[in-house]
Structure 1
Amino acid sequence: MQKRKLFHLILALAIAGTAVPARAMTPDELIAKLQAAGYANVSDVKSTAEGITAKATKNGKPVRLVIDSSGQVKEQD
């Protein structure tokens, strides 16, 4: 019985060790990610209920961006 409890404890610790939450990007990392994706003039970066929002330009046109918790970037109209 002790071996079974020990096995479950080790299994739980192994699972907990792999379930590390994602680290949030710093503002500089976010801007670098957006610039690498072709966005320029990134400004007005805010944390909202939608995720992180920002204004930028792409191909000379202004865009509003929403970056979700997984880091996916979406353009909003």
Structure 2
Amino acid sequence: MGRRKTVEFSKPAYMGKRDDSDLLRKKIIDMPYTEWKKMGFSKGTLHHMKQNTRSDNPFTLNAYEREKLENWNNML
């Protein structure tokens, strides 16, 4: 049979959607707790989101968090 003698590795072409744009980072950092509470979120959620945005690592948001942030931006 025609077996290969070498192993070929290829890089995956998958490109996931990232949520960590500079504008989104700024929105989260500037979000006051009182506004966040009015949207129905806990202080802990905001705290962890702010910690993630202040780090230089990429981060993602849950769908409901992203939706609430978009709605908050439209209310302003």
> Structure 1 length normalisation: TM-score?
0.30
* Greater RCO structure (CA 8 Å; 6+ sep): 2
> Structure 2 length normalisation: TM-score?
0.30
Higher percent of residues as helix: 2
Higher percent of residues as strand: 1
